[in-house]
Amino acid sequence: MENYNPLNPEVKSTGGGNYRVNPINEKYQAFHQCEKNPQQNSRNYVEEDLYGEDDESFDVTELPNKSFQLRMSVPTPLFGNIIGKRGATIKKLRADTDTKIDVPNGHRSNEKVVVTGSSRQKVCQAARRINQIISDGKRNMRPTHFVGIPLNVSPIKENFEEFKKFLLNDQRFLHIDEILYQDSNLLHLTFDVFPLLDTEERLLAVDTLKKCDEAVKKYIQENCPDGKVRVHMKGIDIFSDEDGSSVSVLFGKINPECKAIQDIANIISATFKGAGVSVEKRNNPTEVRLHCTLINNGFIKRADDSNEKFKTRQRFNASKILEEFKDYDFGEIELSEIHISQMGTKGINGFYEASSVLKFL
């Protein structure tokens, strides 16, 4: 390629015509050879590692035989994602990275996915690819836990019950069944949601919340002169991709003047994503969308399956509610705790079971 002259290229004659010979970059020569000869060992071409020689975040061990190995913690439900349909994914991973990848059979918990290769770089490359598969898999799974703050306290709890009572007794809103309203004991402000698939992931989440303690307290000390973080819920809204006449979730808004709680939510969400507890959503916004669910058509799953009325999720018309209650004041509380809560559970006080609690008062 060094001697290639585009003004006077090499020409070859074949099939009655003359054709210019274009050079092939040496970096891709092995790949093109494999294309021409499918029987050739595909390991002649190894996908280029764009991340450099090594990644210190991986605890790679050099073995006595001079090969390198990494043992990775992967939730058992995601083993199938790494293997792929009829083993297609793991075969491609092995070929692209020139590594040996062993996935446990899934019968025992806490078993590791083991990656072995002739260089640290190849092992790290395979590990990054596996981590991407894990992230994609978790992104498509239903969350099992959330991090946020309880709002099931006075005056927010009482004002929500008044709001609910008014709607249930007004003929204009009777199309929204009572079962779709949030239980006032479960009112909460969500910072982030995520699936925790095994004990190791739950312990990581608990440890991550503990690590937030210093950062949050430092923020409060520097930005809240009286040491208090106020949470004022005022008004209602729907998600931007919905129309008011066809709604799946109606939620209470947090007063934009409550900047501290927004900043704290952003700190916690970023920390959980950085630790790998939560994964970036596609088109992920830079700020947490603070919301307290008030009505959700997903709550239909609480109903008796024998009732035909509740067989399918039905969107509801919230246009008049949005108009009439756009400035409804649910009240203000002071931040006292941040919880990691398990969805679908109830604790002694009626709120979700807590996996971990961070206290501020």
Phi, psi of 179 (to 5 degrees): -65, -20
Q: Do the beta carbons of residue 82 and residue 130 sit within 8 Å?
A: yes
What is the per-residue pLDDT across 162-196, written as a single tens digit (0 to 9) for each? 999 999 999 999 889 999 999 999 999 999 999 99
| CA proximity to 21, closest of 33, 9, 8 | 9
User: How distant, in Å, are the alpha carbons of 37, 56, 151 from that of 118?
Assistant: 25, 17, 54
| CA proximity to 360, closest of 214, 249, 247, 253 | 214
In the beta sheet, which residues pair with residue 254? 233
Least confident of 18-32, 272-286, 288-302: 18-32
Q: Percentage of the chain with pLDDT > 70?
A: 78
pLDDT at 72 over 50: yes
Q: Percentage of the chain with pLDDT > 90?
A: 65
Tokens of 295: 């009505």
Q: Is 295 exposed, middle or buried (CB count within 10 Å of its CB: 0-12, 13-18, 19+)?
A: buried
What is the per-residue pLDDT across 195-228, written as a single tens digit (0 to 9) for each? 999 899 999 999 999 999 999 999 999 999 999 9
What pTM did the predictor assign? 0.76
What is the per-residue pLDDT across 18-46, written as a single tens digit (0 to 9) for each? 556 666 554 445 444 444 454 444 444 45
DSSP state of 3: T
Q: How far apart are CA 165 and CA 168, in angstroms?
A: 5
Q: Do the beta carbons of residue 184 and residue 302 sit within 8 Å?
A: no
HSE-up of residue 228 (Cα within 13 Å, Cβ side): 7
Cα distance between the two ends of the chain: 70
Please report the domains of the chain, with CATH numbers, ordered by start residue.
Answer: 11-44 (no CATH), 61-139 (3.30.1370.10), 145-359 (3.90.1140.10)
Q: How far apart are CA 120 and CA 98, in angstroms?
A: 11
